[in-house]
Amino acid sequence: MAYKKRSDGRKFDELRPIEAKLGVIARADGSAYFKIGNTEAYAAVYGPRDLYPRFLQNPEKGVLRCSYGMMAFAGSGDRVRPGPSRRSTEISTVTQRALSPVIDLDEFPNAVVDVYIQLSQTDAGSRCAGICAASMALADAGIVMKDMVAAVAVGKIDKTMIVDLDYEEEAFEGEVADIPIAIIPSSGEYTLLQMDGRIEKEDLMKALELGKEVCKKIVKIQRETIRENFKRSEK
Amino acid sequence: MTKLMIKEREVVVPGDIIAEGMNYLPSTGTYRQGQHIMASRMGIMRLEGKVVKIIPLAGKYLPRRGDVIIGKIIDVNIMAWRVETNSAYSAMLSVKDGTSSFVRRGADLTRIYAIGDYIITKIINVTSQKLVDLTMRGPGLKKLDGGRIIKVTPTKVPRIIGKEGSMVVMIKSLTNCDIMVGQNGIVWIKGEPKDEILAVETIRKIEDESHVSGLTDKIKNFLESAKR
């Protein structure tokens, strides 16, 4: 049973349709919305601001704190219990590590930048959508950062390399490798690399290269969205 | 080969390549990576001779020595007040710098500035750990009585003030309001309620259109038509 055609008719290296917006949450210092296929993420950034409890403070530079969560109705039908879980705690941590390398908080000792990510709909790839939204929201908040971060899942179903898996593909009966990655486009560094399933070394390298290419498309959309947001207000 | 990749006054996003080659110099909001000058903040690109810089469009206020800001008293200690500065850090106003009159030891400091009072004050020192010291000694530094407080994006304060204060002076005279703009993005407005509302509207308009050229004339027209 070889995987010859994708369930939604996409090409193997084609992303799902992307929609992005900036400044969706008025009260936040920066915010963004990022939708890829049926996965829909909101990110809000607050800060730099006071950090309490005090033992979390770092006197050398500011701290980035991320929180990932799915809304109660976001899954595939079962109610998602809100609040921290093993899964959301892990994703919060990897999101924080994916974003930290680009942001510069040296000017803000003892302070914190809070990033809140919530998903109102999920169809696989939610941590990647969350990272994409968060990086746009951080730029919107005026945080000093050396580049944007783009994230996508790559993988292998049977013998076929594919990008941006949806839930149906992730749950494919057979051999599946699902590899979410995040990339700093200007340097090509990977800031997130996780995997579900198994894959050969050569194929993994191929998958990463493929991911790098499609991340360029994502980061282009991120940049254009931010630019458009200000061109509109110029009129 | 040296060339600019982005036109002046255009919006840049972190990671954008602004210029190639060594003929340009990176300044605020930019950094050099190999042969490129890249943006490290979202903002408007500006070129001053060979110096490339970014005027940020968003961002929190960062306390700087010499800035005149509007703060709110949030706590009173034995010999000092703690002041909220609309940034990540609160500031300290000691009795020595807080008032020129003699204060006896153990006196009730809330008689001078109580919790919740707004003051216009000046930053005299900021340490590397962002401990901020304030003073009330200086022209125009005082407690603010009455009026209303609004918050604006701190990066847009220079536009609200205008060149040598031209914008704020114009708004003051056309709305008959007393207006103080703190570098930290807090604005105090006092006048007739109707005038205050007009002043708030005007400031919001400047904030929205801060990156448009010819703003002073536009705002003047807006105010004159609003008064009619």
* pLDDT of A3: 81
Q: Which class would CATH give B148-227? A: alpha beta
Q: Which of B5, B9, B13, B84 to mutate to test the interface with A (most CBs of A within 10 A)?
A: B13
Q: What is the pLDDT of residue B9?
A: 86
- Residues of chain A with Cβ-Cβ distance to B57 below 8 Å are 142, 230
Q: Which residues pair with A31 in a beta bridge?
A: A44
pLDDT on residue B120 = 97
List the single residue in B13, B31, B90 with the smallest CB-CB distance to A226.
B13
Which residue among B13, B43, B88 sits closest to A148, beta carbon to beta carbon?
A: B13
What are the chain A neighbours of B38 within 8 Å (beta carbons)?
A: 146-147, 186
Please state the ipTM of this predicted complex: 0.91
**Does this chain's domain B3-56 share its CATH topology with B68-144?**
yes
Q: Which fold has domain B3-56?
A: OB fold (Dihydrolipoamide Acetyltransferase, E2P) (2.40.50)
Q: For B57, which of A186, A230, A231 is closest by C-beta distance?
A: A230
pLDDT tens, position by position, A167-182: 999 988 888 999 999 9
pLDDT > 90 in chain B, percent: 80
Residue B134 has pLDDT above 90, yes or no: yes
User: What distance in Å separates the CA atoms of residue A212 and residue A55, rounded to the nearest whole number?
Assistant: 38
* CB-based contact, A226 to chain B, within 8 Å: yes
C-alpha distance from B185 to closest chain A C-alpha (Å): 13
State both tokens at B200.
Answer: 């708030």
Residue B6's pLDDT band, with cuts at 50, 70 and 90, is confident
**What are A81-140's pLDDT values in tens digits?**
988 999 999 999 999 999 999 999 999 999 999 999 999 999 999 999 999 999 999 999
- In tens, the pLDDT along B23-40 reads 899 999 999 999 999 999
On the question of pLDDT at A9 being above 70, the answer is yes
Q: How many H-runs (helices) and E-runs (strands) does chain B carry?
A: 5, 17
A60 touches chain B (CB under 8 A): no
Domains of chain A: 18-234 (3.30.230.70)
Above 80 in pLDDT, residue B71? yes
Structure confidence by residue, pLDDT tens digits, B139-181: 999 999 999 999 999 999 999 999 999 999 999 999 999 999 9
Q: Does A102 touch chain B (CB under 8 A)?
A: yes
* A140–B58 C-beta distance less than 8 A: yes
**Eight-state DSSP code of residue B98:** H
In chain A, pLDDT over 70 holds for what percent of residues? 97
User: Measured between CA atoms, how close is A41 to chain B, in angstroms?
Assistant: 21
Map out the domains of chain B as residue ranges: 3-56, 68-144, 148-227
How many residues are present in chain A?
Answer: 235
The arithmetic mean of pLDDT across residues B61-73, rounded, is 97
- Contact criterion met (CB < 8 Å) for B57 and A142: yes
- Could you give the percent of chain B with pLDDT greater than 70? 100
Looking at the domain covering B68-144, what would its CATH class be? mainly beta
What is the rounded distance in angstroms from the CA atom of residue B132 to the CA atom of residue B85? Answer: 9
Instruction: Please indicate if any CB of chain B lies within 8 Å of the CB of A106.
Output: no
The answer to whether residue B15 neighbours chain A at the CB level (below 8 Å) is: yes
Q: Is A81 on the interface with B (CB under 8 A)?
A: no
> Does residue A2 carry a pLDDT above 80?
no
In this complex, do B16 and A223 lie within 8 Å of one another by their Cβ atoms?
yes
Q: What is the pLDDT of residues B171-224, one digit of tens each?
A: 999 999 999 999 999 999 999 999 999 999 999 999 888 877 788 888 999 999
